[in-house]
Amino acid sequence: MLSKSVGRVSRDSLRISSIDQPGGWHSEPGRVPSVGETVLCVEGQAEVVGVLGKTSDGSRLLQLRMDDRTSPFFASSSNVLVQTGAAAP
């Protein structure tokens, strides 16, 4: 059962691909961002600090850090955007 706060959020709003972002951000299926790379997630820009195991959709679990947060958080690599021209690992 979903908590009340989570139940009010639509699943589509949690997918980064549903957010229109200018500035060269795009999804790149199959590409795993490298440690130190900046990605765009639903919370904003974040730095990849760890690349962990696989998620249920086969993508990698990323440990992310934002400057305005004290602790890291996690996102699937299939649900982040990378910047055009960023170096692939």
3-state secondary structure at position 18 = helix
Q: What is the pTM of this model?
A: 0.73
**What is the dotted CATH code of the domain comprising 33-89?**
2.30.30.140
Quote the pLDDT of residue 83. Answer: 85
Extents of the domains making up the chain: 33-89
Quote the pLDDT of residue 89. Answer: 47
List the chain pLDDT tens, one digit each, 89 residues.
445 555 565 665 555 654 556 677 888 888 899 999 999 988 889 999 999 999 988 999 999 999 888 899 999 999 899 887 655 54
Torsion, Cα 62 15 39 58, to 10 degrees, reads: 40
